[in-house]
Amino acid sequence: MASSSLPAGDEAQAIVPGDVPDMPAGNEGMLVAGILLAAILPILDTTIANVAVPHMQSALGAGPQSIMWVLTSYIIANAVAMPISGWLSDRIGRDRLYILSTAGFIVTSLMCGLAQNLEQMVIFRTLQGVAGAFIYPLSQSILLDITRPSRHASMMAMLGFGMVLGPVLGPMLGGWLTENWSWRWVFLVNLPLGLLALVLLMPNLPKYLRERRGFDMFGFGLVAVCLASLQLLLDRGQHIDWFNAAESWIYLGLCLGTGWVAVVHLITAKNPLFDRAMFADANFLIAWIFQIVAAMVIYTTMALMPPMLQHLFHYDGVDTGLVIAPRGIGSILGMQVASRLMSRNSDPRYSIAAGYIFVLYSLYAMTGWSLALDEFNIVWVGFVQGVGIGLIALANFVIAFATLEPRLRTDASGLLNLGRLIGSSLGISAVSAIFARNVQVSHADLAAHISSSTSDVVDVVSISRFPEVGETVMRFADAEINRQAAMVAYVDDFWLIMWMTLISFPLVLLVRRPETVMGGSMPAME
């Protein structure tokens, strides 16, 4: 091999025929920075507002039930709008839609920060959810278009950082802004970040041709009703006692009915909402399922950890963020390792299998947690779980896009992100419902064993002679029983997440190894 100033890996990549971007950009570095900055905004906004809800409730004069529409409206709008990202990008051009979506997200964030009542806030959050729905799918497809196939894995790793770090940073940043500034800054913080992203994007985005593509209004209506009904069922179920209320049955009936008709329509329609070529790719379908499972693990664990640490272990917001942060560091490391493996044309199935082993080990370790848990175990288990999630996430992107035509990238990215949204909603609703039920069951079981014959600390007979003292002692005993019952319920949820992950593991055997990685031939490493 002739001598060169390039490193061996870079030299090999440089001479691979066809290793060129589909849509070359003028200043790739500036454009990539703008895309990464824009992509993290909607993911961050999914969780950043959660910690500000109590402050918004008093400021907007809303009740505890109605204030939850601030969160629900954003998620529903996001889910309903995401399926049409491919059609819109073809209709008006990916570059135009990307700029409009980012600008729309900035404007609606400003409107949310200035809202004066609950009605305004729900409307503005709905519009914000619609604008944000297109940003991440377009970020994925444009990154794949402007970079060489040999760099696709590393680009997806960089984009994946935002997906993993968003749920970690969101509550920390939201809590800090709310306590030190105002709940309105939870939304206003998007303005400087979004404007900087626009400055980097507008002069550097390549120009995409527009394509006349018919819109399947009937199919979109079915999907919209199905997703909205599912999200309403998951968000409202806990508050209305699930299927003891007629409202839940209405949501379930609408979801199942429109979902079934939507599948039939997709199979039989001449021009369906989603190109059937995507569903003919077995790897993409399996990657979509993996995406749902990964979202369940990521978002359900993140939903459980902060309240557990704060309520049972008395961590404050800053300390909670610090002990959870190593999980994000582990994800970054896992994605870096997976990216290096992909750059050597390694079989992505090995990365997924290794990631599953890391995640299952961490979840199994979490099932052994108790109220005697120390910080080291939280940090170590979170780090290991993060490594596993990073390995799975990047390899899953490789599998999903490796055999798809470039024209399907935006549609496919939209569906993958819709899977992330569905998985997180399903997982959080399931663990929340099981947690609430198991707290009551565990409390009853533990309280039944508190008697004079089983307790050396509380003499139930003696304290009954002194009602005032006895009432105080029993309150302390009940508080400790509540703590123990909550810990048992958290452990039960960790068992559930572990079994869901284990059940999906055999899907790795159904994945076909792509001949190319991320759509391009990779250089042979000598």
Q: What is the DSSP string of 336-397?
A: HHHHHHHHTT--HHHHHHHHHHHHHHHHHHHTT--TT--HHHHHHHHHHHHHHHHHHHHHHH
pLDDT category at 2 given cuts 50, 70, 90 is very low
CA angle 390, 394, 399 (to 5 degrees): 145
Residue 17 lies in a domain: no
48 Cβ neighbours under 8 A, 6+ residues apart: 170, 171, 173, 174, 186, 189
Angle of helix 409-447 relative to helix 135-146, nearest 10 degrees, comes to 130
pLDDT category at 106 given cuts 50, 70, 90 is very high
Looking at the fold, whether 235 and 353 belong to one and the same domain comes out as no
Residue 518 lies in a domain: yes
Examine the fold and report which residue of 272, 288, 314 is the final residue of a domain before the chain moves on.
272
Q: What is the pLDDT of residue 10?
A: 43
Question: pLDDT digits over 435-452, tens only?
Answer: 888 888 877 777 776 655
Structure tokens at 239: 């508050």
pLDDT category at 455 given cuts 50, 70, 90 is low
Res 101 pLDDT > 70: yes
Q: What is the pLDDT of residue 507?
A: 79
Percentage of the residues of the chain whose pLDDT score is greater than 70: 82
Q: Are 260 and 299 in contact (CB under 8 A)?
A: no
Q: How far are the Cα atoms of 191, 259, 329, 355 from residue 326, in angstroms, in the given order?
A: 28, 39, 5, 16
Q: How many domains does the chain have?
A: 3
Residue 7 lies in a domain: no
Looking at the fold, whether 366 and 430 belong to one and the same domain comes out as yes
Look-up of token digits 């309240």: 307
Using a cut of 0.85, tell me whether the model's pTM lies above it.
Answer: no
State which H helix or E strand residue 30 sits in.
Answer: helix 28-48
Q: Are 323 and 313 in contact (CB under 8 A)?
A: no
Q: What is the DSSP string of 452-507?
A: TTT-SS--HHHHTTSHHHHHHHHHHHHHHHHHHHHHHHHHHHHHHHHHHHHHHGGG
Residue 294 lies in a domain: yes
Residue 164 lies in a domain: yes
Mean pLDDT of 107-131: 88
24 Cβ neighbours under 8 A, 6+ residues apart: 146, 206
Res 411 pLDDT > 70: yes
Residue 149 lies in a domain: yes
Res 500 pLDDT > 60: yes
DSSP state of 2: -
Q: What is the pLDDT of residue 104?
A: 93
Q: Are 278 and 404 in contact (CB under 8 A)?
A: yes
**Domain membership of residue 157 as a residue range:** 23-206
Mean pLDDT of 114-136: 87
Residue 12 lies in a domain: no
Q: What is the 3-state secondary structure (H, E, C) of 182-228?
A: CCCHHHHCHHHHHHHHHHHHCCCCCCCCCCCCCCCHHHHHHHHHHHH
Res 122 pLDDT > 70: yes
Looking at the fold, whether 328 and 432 belong to one and the same domain comes out as yes
Percentage of the residues of the chain whose pLDDT score is greater than 90: 9
Mean pLDDT of 404-425: 78
Q: What is the pLDDT of residue 451?
A: 58
Res 260 pLDDT > 50: yes
Q: How many residues does the chain have?
A: 526
pLDDT category at 202 given cuts 50, 70, 90 is confident
Kindly report which listed range (113-122, 190-199, 321-330, 382-391) carries the lowest average pLDDT score.
321-330
| β-strand partners of 517 | 520
CATH number at residue 165: 1.20.1250.20
Res 176 pLDDT > 70: yes
Res 419 pLDDT > 50: yes
Res 461 pLDDT > 70: no
Q: What is the pLDDT of residue 65?
A: 64
pLDDT category at 152 given cuts 50, 70, 90 is confident
Mean pLDDT of 397-406: 76
Mean pLDDT of 316-328: 76
Q: What is the pLDDT of residue 8?
A: 42
Q: What is the pLDDT of residue 4?
A: 39
Res 308 pLDDT > 80: yes
Residue 521 lies in a domain: yes
pLDDT category at 363 given cuts 50, 70, 90 is very high
